[in-house]
Amino acid sequence: MSMARPLVSGRIAPGIEIVPPVRQLRAVTNNIGRKRRPKVFFATITVMTIFLISAAQILLSISTQSGAYEIAGLQQQVKDLGRTYQSATQDLDRMTSPQNIAQFAQALGMVGNSNPVYLRLSDSVVTGSASAARAGKNSVGSSDLVPNAMLTDLVAERDAAARATSDAQARQAHVPAPAANVSSDRAPAPASATVAVPSPQGIPSPTTH
């Protein structure tokens, strides 16, 4: 404004000085007011937009980032579960092996009877002679004849479990009341323990018909 006056007064003839300043003031004031409002508005919009974009980008980046961590975490979980699955199926597969089942069956006192006897329904004829299975007669023999290296750990674990059970039983039997001088954390020598699972040789022959 202060710049406008000398410029205007310098260009207009001296006789008509009074009118132009009035007109000028009004016009300039109005003009400047009108021009400034949109500038602030747009500036605000621009700044806000930039701010919003940056914020959105940061949020997006954070969510992508956390998504990446989540994916990595879930992938790790998949891996861990896969390992658990493998460990479980590995145990299941080797437990279902014929060697293991035969050992278990023998340990439980089961004896194979290889005498098939049939009853023919049409004429009620019995073919074959029924005879009782006897331990030893149809024994499947020693377990190392058809070896299975995958059972080595399993057998060791089973023996350890059997020993632990028999130890516990032995402790219960021999030490009725917890005595102060008996340290409970020391396991009795395995040799003195009675094995919980009967051995195939030592079982009484069950009579089956």
Q: Write down the H helix ranges in the chain.
A: 4-11, 19-95, 98-107, 152-174
Residue choice 29, 90, 169, 205 for contact with another protein (CB under 8 A): 90
Measure the CA–CA gap between 200 and 108, rounded to whole angstroms: 8
CB of 136 to another protein, least distance (A): 13
Does position 140 interact with another protein (CB under 8 A)? The reply is yes
Residue type, 145: L
Closest by alpha carbon to 164, among 185, 138, 133, 137?
A: 185
Residue choice 2, 124, 127, 199 for contact with another protein (CB under 8 A): 127
Fill in the DSSP letter of residue 130: -
CB of 147 to another protein, least distance (A): 5
Of the candidate spans 8-16, 49-57, 94-102, 171-179, the one that interacts with another protein by CB under 8 A turns out to be: 94-102
Angle between helices 19-95 and 152-174 (to 10 degrees): 80
Nearer to another protein, 128 or 206 (CB): 128
Residue choice 141, 174, 206, 208 for contact with another protein (CB under 8 A): 141
What phi, psi does 17 have (nearest 5°)?
A: -80, -35
Residues forming contacts to another protein in the complex (CB under 8 A) are 64, 67-69, 71-72, 75, 83, 86-87, 90, 93-94, 96-99, 102, 114-118, 120, 127-129, 138, 140-142, 145-151
